[in-house]
């Protein structure tokens, strides 16, 4: 319960009448119900009425964070008893809630998770999980026991933080997971309305995220190629589809041991079933490519641009060595369409684009030299060992050592011809000899900094094709944000549905992340959402408690006055609110 006043003018005089009011939820809406008419009250009378409201309500009154300032009143306060209580982080969670509103996720979850008899609506729990993942990624236990009480999120949402526990957060995960498909459709609609995003180009790539634990009951948790350099842990693979601007459209989860190319059909078919085939181009890296996949894409009338394994360059070694015919598309980057090889039908009528980067050439040449030097030094040491050994050595062990050496230095392994054989004239009984493969070394030198692309889009120039392919960096940026900023790894959940719900919440947080990034860019505030979040995180709210001489206490919620940099960001937040009310304003930012 709380006090509310109305102003009436009578006979030229202004009268302020006070009412005791309580909030009552009716269905999805909250209405204010008048409990008692209190008439005109002086300052002391209002303090007594506030105390009455606290007693009737059964809990301390909690002023709203954005309540209007109190009217000027004269109250005697005991200065030696003034205190500051409930200091909470405010700015970052407030921004998270604003972004949630911008994406119209309130409407989405209230539609699909209609409130029932639960103490806290499941739509609110979805917001808590997502804002927590955006502001300070952590476990559900940490959210319930530590993080939530340090923030003003419960106050902003108007919920009792004592009722938010680990179990309720886990149940919230269970509630949101079935909404994955509907949410992806909702997100696509929002991108169209807010940023006029086009879907003529879809970028697809895959990454992995690993678990802590044995995961014996989760069939998707398998050991495979770990992009996190954790081959000792089980993992799942996540395929992500984004637009040319990096705006996420959807994702799929696959077993951790599934080859990348085996995920393409599922992902493409899912997107097409949801949004239709349309006239779009799929862009994928070389890990997705197989003859079967490209044949399937062509037969289905799909257009694509894909990277090819470096071995494809061997067929065009002469063109790589030829300095003519290259077109410069950026400083240090040149491209050319390769000539068709007579009798070679492997491309199936597609175009092959050869690309060459000077910066990449220098990097690959330096790495090649480093690994070659390591192999040479290790082989020389092994050779001396075989020559000086006083007793016979095992041929099998020496061969295994050579194998491990080449495994650790794969980039240069093919440039060496190594022979380990029995030798009766040596005390060790073995001889290790090696030499350089000159043909392989020549090809390596020619192909440093080069890569090949394949496409069935025939109306692109060389520059168009190359610029389209490098848009894949948008997917890489998305994976980087998921892992570094939203901390999707490691996964501590063991149940398959909870694992999928965890990834779903991370995807939701990334939607807010990209929304902030887009508005931030349009407002001229850089391109680092984490900087914005951290800066606003320094804005706190707190309750100023003023004890009066009558024995009552006045509790005023206040927000720290923002500094200059924070004011600039909050002005940007105001523009977000304006854009939310008027999408046309947002497009022009």
Report pLDDT digits (tens) over 417-459.
998 888 887 788 888 888 988 888 888 888 898 999 999 998 8
**pLDDT band (50, 70, 90) for residue 63:** very low
- Asked if residue 180 lies in contact with residue 130, where contact means CB atoms within 8 angstroms, the answer is no
Rounded distance between C-alpha atoms, residue 547 and residue 62, angstroms: 16
- pLDDT tens for each residue of 128-177: 999 999 999 999 999 999 999 999 999 889 888 899 999 999 999 999 99
pLDDT at residue number 340:
77
The pLDDT of residue 558 is 84
Tokens of 382: 């092994």
Q: How does DSSP assign 42-65, residue by residue?
A: -HHHHHHHHHHHHHHHTS-----T
CB 123 within 8 A of CB 131: no
Condensed to tens digits (0 to 9), the pLDDT of residues 205-235 reads 999 999 988 888 899 999 999 999 898 999 9
pLDDT class of 241 with cuts at 50, 70, 90: very high
> Given phi > 0 = left and psi -120 to 50 = alpha, else beta, which region is 299?
alpha
What is the CATH architecture assignment of 197-350+456-494?
Alpha-Beta Complex (3.90)
Torsion sign across C-alpha atoms 294, 300, 301, 305: negative
In order, the DSSP letters of 368-396 are HHHHHHHHHHHHHHHHHHHHH-SS---HH
Q: Which of 519, 501, 507 is nearest to 481 (CA)?
A: 507
> What's the sign of the alpha-carbon dihedral 385, 386, 387, 393?
positive
Helices (H), 389-455: 395-408, 410-413, 438-447
Lowest mean pLDDT among 147-161, 341-355, 385-399: 341-355
Residue 65 pLDDT grade (very low, low, confident, very high; cuts 50, 70, 90): very low
List the strands of the sheet with 29-39, edge to edge.
Answer: 2-10, 13-26, 29-39
Edge-to-edge order in the sheet of strand 553-559: 83-89, 540-547, 553-559
CA distance 49 to 69: 18
SS3 231: coil
Is residue 103 a contact partner of residue 187, using CB atoms and an 8 Å limit? yes
Give the C-alpha distances (Å, rounded to integers) separating 457 from 214, 280, 316, 461, 462: 46, 11, 21, 10, 11
Read off the pLDDT band of 506 (50, 70, 90): very high
Tokens standing for residue 9: 């003018």
Whether the CB-CB separation of 195 and 245 falls below 8 Å is answered with yes
Backbone φ/ψ region at 166: left (φ over 0), alpha (ψ -120 to 50), beta: alpha
Whole-number Å distance between alpha carbons of 195 and 124: 26
- SS3 label, residue 34: strand
pTM: 0.79
8 A C-beta contact, residue 555 and residue 543: yes
* 283-325 pLDDT per residue, tens: 999 888 888 999 999 888 899 999 998 888 888 888 888 888 8
User: Bridge-partner residues for 297, per DSSP?
Assistant: none
Spatial distance between the Cα atoms of 389 and 427, rounded to a whole number of angstroms: 6
Residue (of 566, 367, 554) closest to 448 by Cα position: 367
475-483: average pLDDT: 90
Instruction: Tell me if residue 142 falls in helix, strand or coil.
Output: helix
For residues 182-187, give the mean pLDDT: 92
Domain ranges of the chain: 1-61, 197-350+456-494, 360-447
Report how far residue 187's alpha carbon sits from residue 183's, in angstroms, rounded to the nearest whole number.
6
Averaged pLDDT score across all residues of the chain: 84
Spatial separation of the C-alpha atoms in residues 109 and 125, rounded to whole Å = 10
């Amino acid at each position: 319960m709380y006090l509310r006043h109305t102003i009436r003018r009578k006979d030229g005089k202004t009268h302020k009448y006070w009412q005791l009011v309580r909030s009552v939820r009716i269905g999805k809406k909250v209405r204010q119900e008048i409990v008692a008419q209190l008439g005109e009250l002086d300052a002391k009378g209002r303090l007594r009425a506030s105390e009455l409201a606290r007693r009737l309500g059964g809990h301390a009154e909690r002023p709203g964070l954005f309540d209007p300032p109190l009217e000027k009143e004269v109250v005697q306060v005991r200065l030696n008893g003034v205190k500051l209580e409930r200091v909470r982080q405010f700015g970052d969670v407030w921004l998270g809630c604003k972004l949630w509103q911008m994406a119209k996720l309130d409407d989405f979850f209230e539609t699909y998770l209609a409130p029932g008899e639960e103490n806290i609506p499941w739509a609110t729990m979805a917001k808590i999980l997502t804002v927590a993942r955006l502001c300070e990624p952590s476990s559900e236990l940490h959210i319930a026991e530590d993080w939530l009480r340090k923030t003003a999120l419960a106050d902003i949402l108007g919920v009792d933080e004592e009722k938010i526990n680990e179990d309720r957060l886990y149940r919230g995960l269970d509630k949101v997971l079935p909404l994955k498909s509907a949410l992806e459709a909702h997100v696509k609609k929002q991108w169209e309305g807010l940023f006029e995003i086009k879907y003529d180009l879809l970028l697809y790539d895959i990454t992995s995220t690993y678990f802590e634990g044995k995961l014996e009951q989760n069939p998707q948790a398998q050991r495979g190629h770990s992009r996190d350099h954790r081959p000792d842990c089980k993992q799942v693979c996540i395929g992500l589809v984004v637009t040319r601007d990096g705006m996420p459209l959807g994702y799929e989860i696959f077993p951790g041991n599934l080859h990348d190319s085996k995920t393409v059909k599922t992902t493409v078919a899912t997107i097409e079933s949801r949004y239709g085939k349309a006239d779009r181009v799929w862009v994928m890296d070389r890990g997705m490519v197989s003859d079967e996949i490209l044949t399937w894409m062509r037969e289905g009338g799909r257009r694509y641009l894909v990277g090819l394994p470096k071995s494809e360059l061997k067929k065009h070694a002469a063109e790589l060595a030829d300095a003519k015919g290259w077109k410069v598309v950026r400083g240090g980057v040149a491209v050319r369409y390769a000539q068709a090889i007579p009798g070679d039908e492997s491309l199936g009528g597609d175009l092959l684009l050869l690309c060459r980067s000077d910066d990449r050439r220098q990097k690959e040449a330096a790495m090649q030299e480093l690994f070659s030097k390591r192999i040479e030094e290790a082989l020389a040491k092994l050779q001396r060992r075989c020559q000086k050994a006083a007793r016979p050595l095992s041929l099998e062990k020496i061969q295994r050592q050579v194998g491990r050496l080449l495994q650790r230095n794969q980039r240069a392994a093919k440039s060496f011809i190594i022979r380990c054989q029995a030798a009766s004239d040596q005390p060790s009984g073995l001889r290790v000899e090696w030499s350089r493969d000159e043909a392989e070394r020549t090809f390596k030198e020619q192909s440093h900094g080069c890569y090949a692309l394949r496409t069935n889009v025939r109306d692109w120039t060389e520059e168009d094709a190359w610029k389209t392919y490098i848009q894949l960096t948008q997917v890489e940026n998305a994976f980087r944000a998921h892992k570094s900023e939203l901390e999707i790894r490691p996964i501590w959940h063991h149940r398959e549905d909870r694992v999928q719900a965890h990834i779903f919440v991370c995807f939701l947080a990334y939607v807010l992340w990209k929304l902030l990034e887009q508005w931030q860019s349009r407002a001229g505030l850089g391109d680092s959402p984490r900087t914005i979040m951290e800066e606003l995180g320094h804005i706190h709210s707190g309750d100023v408690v003023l004890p009066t001489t009558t024995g009552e206490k006045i509790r005023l919620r206040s927000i720290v006055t923002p500094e200059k940099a924070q004011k600039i960001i909050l002005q940007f937040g105001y523009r977000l609110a304006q854009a939310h009310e008027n999408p046309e304003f947002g497009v022009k930012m």
